A = this chain, B = another copy of it.
């Protein structure tokens, strides 16, 4: 496909925006990145995502797609030529969607509570640890969640690969360690070594500065 307009409205520090970037790069889709300022959202962002008014928004030939996991499905269904993001088997697809949803519905809200409580609430820590154990168990001895190459869960789990460590460092309470979650840390090594991930995710040091400046830590 040529002559198509693909624009991504996102912010560099958002794991949700980065999910979309990773998927577009995996598929080899050229796109224009539009960096938003969340304290002063652009009229386009508000126009294209009137209900949630959030990044990321993917604009494809004038049509806006919102919510990062839905955008990943859209990308996979639209650009079929590149590697698949979801498996083809319906049961495996349901399983991938289940774990991706668990990250968004459970782990990320728990991480937000962890930040708010400055790492001091044991109940929140227990919740995060339980979720990480479930992920560790689901990963098992596979290279990636999807098997031999990166798929939906791996892309969705970029928060586990990078942001979680930034958060715990910023708040000063370490709970996500190599000793406790050896399989997830092995996965992080493999993941962060992929060229598409390396060139897309921000630097940990930059995220730490951003966290400090935004008053989170």
Residues of B within 8 A of A63 (CB): 91
| Copies of this protein chain in the complex | 2
Per the bound structure, the CA–CA distance linking A71 and B74 in Å amounts to: 19
Mark out the residues of chain A between 63 and 81 whose CB falls within 8 Å of any chain B CB in the assembled complex. Answer: 63, 65-67, 70-71, 73-74, 77-78
Residues of B within 8 A of A73 (CB): 90, 93-94, 97
Residues of B within 8 A of A67 (CB): 97-98, 101
Contact A74 B102 (CB under 8 A): no
Kindly provide the distance from the CB of A112 to the nearest chain B CB, expressed in whole angstroms.
15
Contact of A116 with B by CB under 8 A: no
Q: A74-B94, A94-B65, A94-B74 are in contact. Are A51 and B101 (CB under 8 A)?
A: no
Mark out the residues of chain A between 21 and 45 whose CB falls within 8 Å of any chain B CB in the assembled complex. Answer: none
Per the bound structure, the CA–CA distance linking A198 and B101 in Å amounts to: 31
**Chain A at the B interface: mostly helix, strand, loop or mixed?**
helix
| Closest chain B residue to A138, Cβ basis | B51
Per the bound structure, the CA–CA distance linking A73 and B152 in Å amounts to: 16
Contact of A134 with B by CB under 8 A: yes
| Closest chain B residue to A61, Cβ basis | B91
Residues of B within 8 A of A98 (CB): 66-67, 70
Give A43-70 as 1s and 0s: 1 = Cβ < 8 Å from B's Cβ atoms: 0000000010000000010010111001
| Closest chain B residue to A105, Cβ basis | B105
Contact A74 B101 (CB under 8 A): no
Interface centre among A67, A71, A102 (most CB of B within 10 A): A67
Contact A90 B70 (CB under 8 A): no
Closest 9 A/B residue pairs (Cβ): A77-B90, A74-B94, A78-B90, A65-B94, A70-B94, A70-B97, A74-B90, A63-B91, A70-B98
Contact residues of A with B, CB < 8 Å? 51, 60, 63, 65-67, 70-71, 73-74, 77-78, 90-91, 93-94, 97-98, 101-102, 134
